[in-house]
Amino acid sequence: MSVMVTGGTGFIGNRIIRKLVERGEEVVCFDLAPPRANLSSYVEQGRIAMYRGDVTRLDHLLEAVNRHGVDRIIHMAALLPPDTEDRPATGMAVNIDGCNNVFEAARWGNVKRVVYASSIAVYGVQDTFGDRPLVEDDLPAPINVYGMTKAVNDFAAARYRTLHGLDIRGVRICTVFGHGRVTGMTGMIGGLMMSLPAIGQPVSMDFDPMEASPMIHAEDAAEIFVRVALADTLNHHIYISGGELATIADVADMVCSYIPDASITTGSRPVPHVYLVDNSRMMADLGYELPPLRMRVLDHINDARAEAGLEPIAG
Distance between CA atoms of residues 280 and 282, nearest Å = 5
Distance between CA atoms of residues 294 and 298, nearest Å = 7
Beta-bridged to residue 73, according to DSSP, are 4, 114
- Residue 40: its pLDDT value, please? 80
- Least trusted range by pLDDT, from 149-153, 185-189, 270-274: 185-189
118: helix, coil or strand? Answer: strand
- Residue 37: its pLDDT value, please? 73
- Residue 160: its pLDDT value, please? 98
Q: Which residues contact 123 (CB under 8 A, 6 or more apart)?
A: 129, 134, 138, 140, 141, 142, 147, 274
DSSP codes of every residue in 238-268: EEE---EEEEHHHHHHHHHHHSTT--EE---
pLDDT tens, 182-238? 777 677 888 999 999 999 999 999 999 999 999 999 999 999 999 999 999 999 999
Q: Domains of the chain: which residue ranges? A: 2-175+214-240
Distance between CA atoms of residues 62 and 67, nearest Å = 8
Q: Which residues contact 8 (CB under 8 A, 6 or more apart)?
A: 14, 16, 17, 27, 28, 29, 30, 31, 35, 39, 76
61 and 102 Cβ atoms separated by less than 8 Å: yes
- Residue 42: its pLDDT value, please? 86
Stated as kind and residue range, the H or E segment containing 116 is strand 113-119
- Residue 280: its pLDDT value, please? 98
Distance between CA atoms of residues 251 and 244, nearest Å = 11
Helix axes 98-108, 58-68, angle to 10 degrees: 40
pLDDT at residue 34 above 90? no
Q: Within 13 A of 253's CA, how many CA atoms are on the CB side? A: 8
- Residue 288: its pLDDT value, please? 96
* Single pTM value for the model: 0.97
219 and 15 Cβ atoms separated by less than 8 Å: yes
- Residue 189: its pLDDT value, please? 86
pLDDT at residue 97 above 90? yes
- Residue 45: its pLDDT value, please? 87
pLDDT at residue 38 above 90? no
Cα dihedral across residues 88, 133, 157, 162: positive or negative: negative
Class of domain 2-175+214-240: alpha beta
- Residue 33: its pLDDT value, please? 86
Rounded to an integer, the average pLDDT of 31-38 is 82
What is the pLDDT confidence band of residue 239, given thresholds at 50, 70 and 90?
A: very high
pLDDT at residue 39 above 90? no
Q: Which of 98, 14, 71, 10 is CA-nearest to residue 48? A: 14
Mean pLDDT of the chain: 96
DSSP assignment letter at 134: B
pLDDT at residue 75 above 90? yes
What is the pLDDT confidence band of residue 256, given thresholds at 50, 70 and 90?
A: very high
